[in-house]
Amino acid sequence: MTFISSLQWKGDHLLLLDQRQLPHQEIYLKQTAIEDVWNSISALVVRGAPAIGIAAAYGLVLWSQHAETNEVSTFKAELRTQGEYLASSRPTAVNLSWAIDRIIRVSFSLPTVEKMKEAILKEATIIHQEDELVCQRIGEHGLKLLKDGDTILTHCNAGGIATAKYGTALAPLHLAKQNGLSISAIATETRPVLQGARLTAWELERAGIDVTLITDSMAAHVLKTKKIAAVIVGADRIAANGDTANKIGTLGLAHIAQAYQVPFYVAAPLSTIDYSVPHGDAIPIEERDPKEITHYQGERVAAENIKIFNPAFDVTPHHLIKGIITEHGIIRTPYEENLVHLSLPDDKNTEVHS
């Protein structure tokens, strides 16, 4: 199988796959400053919660490489400021602030600016490398839910280009392919930016995995008439009670899956769980440029002088979620209890059942 990398660190700059150009062109944009990374995250050059977090970590590396002060207190203050700046690029995906906080935490105890700079680069590299293993483990746990010949339905893109490798929701498909199993996918197009059509379908076809593309509005008909083993989606933030923010349209899909008794799963690393947020109503929902709805390929397709509402995410309540597939197992209800239980350092390798 051939995997394409969404991020490549090159020692003094970062290369980001411009996902806006897919599937027609595979173009990498050179990032040499933290401002480049902020713009790329905001403009969806890089997207997918884990990939955003990795990019932000390298954004702090780029800033640190250009920082001229040798005064520790000054460097620390500016590092915090730059971290807040990066975190403002997209408000919903918690992996962004998680990676930034992790970089700050490991570097703040060090005695010199030089050692802090070394620690920032080392931790960014570790975050990048860890994500590949995390996604592989998510895929292994997810694959236990499926059997040869199954079909899953997925929404948006939670594949390899949204992470370091394998993806989250798509990881079971990639691992099935590696293990000689035949598991196919139905992908929604994912309006308004078409991540399913442009990215998920492209990624799976490129990997030799059977994929069928449908419009978002076809999901109910497909779940009613086709034999779908499960709906598996990714996540941008999971609240402490299991409520999950994901690409707009996920909430409706979860309700439809429940109506037709198709199990609905969320696949995400533990870093996507935000224990500071008690429930989904407290998750900030990003609203994006109205042109994503009113225009297509630069041409206006909607009537003039109308109001536009363009939330990028919605929140699926935990009672609609059959399980949350993480790198350490599948979390099941009661989520508020089991999410905390799974996060304990001495209990990392067991599946938590209801």
pLDDT at position 1 is 58
pLDDT at position 350 is 35
- The average pLDDT across 103-131 equals 94
Q: Which of 172, 171, 147 is nearest to 159 (CA)?
A: 171
pLDDT tens profile 253-265:
999 999 999 999 9
Instruction: Name the percent of the chain lying above pLDDT 90.
Output: 88
How confident is the prediction for the chain on average, in pLDDT? 92
pLDDT tens profile 199-254:
999 999 999 999 999 999 999 999 999 999 999 999 999 999 999 999 999 999 99
Q: 343 pLDDT band (50/70/90 cuts)?
A: low
Residue 345 has pLDDT above 60, yes or no: no
Q: Which of 269, 347, 352 is nearest to 102 (CA)?
A: 269
Residue 351 has pLDDT above 50, yes or no: no
Of 3.75.10.10, 3.40.350.10, 3.40.50.10470, 1.20.1260.10, the CATH number of 139-343 is 3.40.50.10470
Residue 267 has pLDDT above 60, yes or no: yes
pLDDT at position 306 is 96
- The average pLDDT across 5-22 equals 94
Residue 269 has pLDDT above 70, yes or no: yes
Residue 152 has pLDDT above 80, yes or no: yes
The pTM for the full model equals: 0.89
- Radius of gyration for the alpha carbons in the chain, expressed in angstroms and rounded: 20
Residue numbers annotated as active site? 236
pLDDT at position 353 is 36
pLDDT at position 346 is 39
CATH, range 7-134: 1.20.120.420
**Domain span(s) for CATH 3.40.50.10470 in the chain:** 139-343
pLDDT tens profile 35-78:
999 999 999 999 988 999 999 999 999 999 999 999 999 999 99
**Domain span(s) for CATH 1.20.120.420 in the chain:** 7-134
pLDDT tens profile 87-98:
999 888 788 999
- The average pLDDT across 263-285 equals 95
pLDDT at position 126 is 95
pLDDT tens profile 158-181:
999 999 999 999 999 999 999 999
- The average pLDDT across 126-155 equals 96
pLDDT, greater one: 341 or 287: 287
